[in-house]
């Protein structure tokens, strides 16, 4: 009797396991890629945070924006690294809120006459409407500058790892693991997309769409051409690393050449008046005393 009960329990467990496997959703490569894109491009917002951004503000920002603004905002968010809780809908809501608050603030500051009131209202509304765009562009430019500065060192590490015998994927994983900053995050994302099912060229081409750094775009193009022509990747990496070091030195020299021009205006505005007072001041006092004695 106990044997029959045990066999019945075993069959029931097997049946439940089969049903669970049948009901389990299948994870395909396309679904995994969509999950990665969603995790990077859209922030997880709670219901309370959604309630803080009324839909009518988003509708207001959307109506006053040109067609295709959502895709352009998403591209700017990709350039900025997709900051937490920043989504195209939220940016549009902030644009609508900035329009109202900026217009009200401009009207309050210029509450003198009807003409000044209209001017202040228009200027404040325009400034408040485009302020989220300015902040988003500024965040993207700062992130791209960080990528540009970190690229030569990452290229050196990538070249050393490949020449030491690692494959390109393993070398890229070392760069993502041993460095910090936006470039390490982009390398980690490229590795995730390659592990899910994208080819190397597709993952690297997607990387170029998320950056404006010319050196990184040239590096991806060189890798694609090397793969098509069968050129050893180690030599390509060595040449690219040498070229990026040269470009970094040239940028440093360019910045050094700009220093005298940048110092000129503070020097004229701050130092020269004090020098004129010290040098010409005693003579001016003596001349004034002589003229007053006459």
pLDDT at 124 over 80: yes
Q: What is the pLDDT of residue 142?
A: 92
**pLDDT averaged over every residue in the chain:** 79
Find the helix packing angle between 114-163 and 88-109, rounded to 10°: 140
pLDDT tens-place string over residues 255-290: 888 888 888 888 888 888 888 888 888 888 888 888
Return the higher-pLDDT residue of 48 and 72. Answer: 72
Mean pLDDT score, 170-178: 89
Q: What is the pLDDT of residue 197?
A: 82
Return the higher-pLDDT residue of 51 and 92. Answer: 92
Q: What is the pLDDT of residue 144?
A: 92
* Token pair recorded at residue 182: 């936006």
Return the higher-pLDDT residue of 228 and 187. Answer: 187
Return the higher-pLDDT residue of 9 and 140. Answer: 140
pLDDT tens-place string over residues 218-269: 888 888 888 788 888 888 888 888 888 888 898 889 888 888 888 888 888 8
- Domains of the chain (ranges; CATH) run 146-250 (1.20.81)
pLDDT at 33 over 60: no
Q: What is the pLDDT of residue 48?
A: 42
Q: What is the pLDDT of residue 271?
A: 82
pLDDT bucket at 1, cuts 50 / 70 / 90: low
């Amino acid at each position: 009797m106990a044997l029959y009960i045990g066999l019945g329990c075993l069959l029931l467990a097997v049946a439940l396991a089969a049903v669970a496997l049948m009901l389990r959703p299948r994870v395909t490569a396309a679904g995994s890629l969509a999950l990665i894109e969603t995790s990077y491009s859209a922030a997880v917002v709670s219901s309370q945070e959604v309630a803080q951004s009324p839909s009518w503000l988003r509708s207001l920002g959307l109506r006053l924006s040109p067609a295709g603004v959502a895709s352009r905002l998403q591209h700017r968010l990709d350039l900025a690294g997709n900051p937490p809780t920043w989504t195209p809908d939220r940016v549009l809501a902030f644009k609508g809120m900035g329009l109202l608050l900026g217009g009200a603030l401009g009207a309050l500051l210029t509450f003198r006459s009807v003409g000044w009131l209209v001017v202040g209202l228009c200027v404040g509304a325009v400034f408040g409407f485009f302020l989220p765009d300015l902040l988003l562009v500024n965040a993207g430019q700062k992130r791209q500058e960080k990528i540009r500065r970190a690229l030569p060192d990452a290229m050196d590490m990538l070249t050393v790892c490949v020449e030491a015998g690692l494959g390109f994927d393993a070398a890229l994983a070392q760069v993502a693991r041993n460095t910090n900053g936006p470039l390490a995050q982009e390398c980690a994302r490229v590795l995730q997309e390659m592990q899910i099912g994208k080819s190397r060229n597709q993952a690297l081409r997607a990387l170029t769409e998320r950056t404006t750094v010319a050196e990184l775009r040239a590096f991806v193009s060189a890798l694609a051409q090397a793969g098509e022509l069968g050129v050893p990747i180690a030599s390509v990496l060595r040449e690219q690393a040498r070229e990026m070091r040269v470009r970094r030195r040239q940028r440093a020299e360019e910045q050094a050449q700009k220093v005298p021009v940048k110092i000129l205006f503070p020097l004229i505005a701050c130092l020269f008046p004090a020098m004129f007072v010290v040098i010409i001041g005693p003579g001016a006092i003596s001349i004034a005393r002589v003229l007053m004695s006459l």
